[in-house]
Amino acid sequence: MGMRWRIGDGKSINIYNENWLPGRGSAKVVSLHVHALEGAQVAALINPDTRTWNQNMLQQHFLSFEANRYKLLCEEENASDASSSDSLKQDIFWRCIWKLCILNKIKLFLWRACSNALPTKENLKRRKILDDAKCSACLSAQENTFHAIWSCELLHHIWNPCFNWIRTKHPLIQDVQELVDLVGQRTGNLELLAVVAWFIWNHRNQLRLNEKGLASDKIFQAAKLHLSKF
């Protein structure tokens, strides 16, 4: 089933410590921690034989709204209807992301970006939370994941120092995962791509909340500095 390629076997994701829940609300589990699951991985919530969520476990240990989000995750992933070869490819892809030398929360961010699981305006509109999905920065395109972190024209100056070659040599790329695949193959500089994208996404959220964030022309340097300290 589709779940496998997103969660993998669930052995790499800590239930309580990682930001892994998609959709609205906290990406981290907010239900009261139970002793039995302290330190456990997501694999503990998956029935290994059927590769489906253990519903009894969800109902027993998680708040109902959170248990519903697991179900949502399941439905969305089933809807993706990945073929088995695609699943295998995605498994390998996720393992590559997991090996990157960056904070786990940025790996999770990248995974969610590639899985279209970030709360972009387009996704919020799809869930009827917003009426308008227009990008608040350029006001000329719908804010999907690819636009929010890469293709918005107001982001070009941020990416250009290291990644301009993608726009010139591969202008037809339209998807975050294609971008990640390309950078992973050509330069091995996925860490920088992930961290810059993460800074851009946070910057976008700060603007949305009317918080004062980093000036956009400082983002690339801030991302490089972050990476050098890691």
Question: Residue 34 Cβ, how far from Zn ion at the closest point, in Å?
Answer: 43
Pick the stretch among 80-88, 147-155, 166-174, 209-217 that binds Zn ion (CB under 5 A): 147-155
Pick one of 46, 97, 135, 227: the residue that binds Zn ion (CB under 5 A).
Answer: 135
* Shortest Å, Cβ 164 to Zn ion: 18
Integer Cα distance of 208 and 211 in angstroms: 8
In angstroms, the CA 6 to CA 122 distance is 20
- Residue of 116, 70, 110 whose CA lies nearest to 197: 110
152 binds Zn ion (CB under 5 A): yes
- Tell me the number of residues near Zn ion by CB under 5 A: 4
| Listed ranges 137-145, 177-185, 193-201, 202-210: which one lies at the site for Zn ion (CB under 5 A) | 137-145
Nearest approach, Cβ of residue 49 and Zn ion (Å): 46
Residue 37 or 137 with smaller CB distance to Zn ion: 137
Cβ proximity to Zn ion, 57 vs 135, nearer residue: 135
Q: Which is nearer to Zn ion, 135 or 158 (CB)?
A: 135
Report the phi/psi class of residue 53: left, alpha or beta, with left for phi > 0 and alpha for psi in -120 to 50: beta
Q: Burial letters for 102-129: b for 16+ Cβ neighbours within 10 Å, e otherwise?
A: bebebbbbbbbbbbbbbbbbbbbbeeee
Of residues 34, 43, 130, 138, which one binds Zn ion by CB under 5 A?
Answer: 138
Q: Is 137 in the site for Zn ion (CB under 5 A)?
A: yes
In this structure, the number of other CB atoms found within 10 A of the CB of residue 39 comes to 11
The interface region with Zn ion, picked from 35-43, 87-95, 98-106, 132-140 by CB under 5 A, is 132-140
Binding status of residue 45 toward Zn ion by CB under 5 A:
no
3-state secondary structure of 143: coil
For Zn ion, the closer CB: 47 or 206:
206
158 binding Zn ion? (CB under 5 A): no
Q: Please give the Cα distance from 109 to 95 (Å, whole number).
A: 14
- How many angstroms separate the first and last alpha carbons of the chain? 36
Residue 128 Ramachandran class (φ > 0 left, ψ -120 to 50 alpha, else beta): left
Is 148 a binding residue for Zn ion by CB under 5 A? The answer is no
- Check binding of 124 to Zn ion (CB under 5 A): no
For position 155 contacting Zn ion by CB under 5 A, the verdict is no
Element housing 53 (H / E) = strand 52-53
Residues that bind Zn ion (CB under 5 A): 135, 137-138, 152
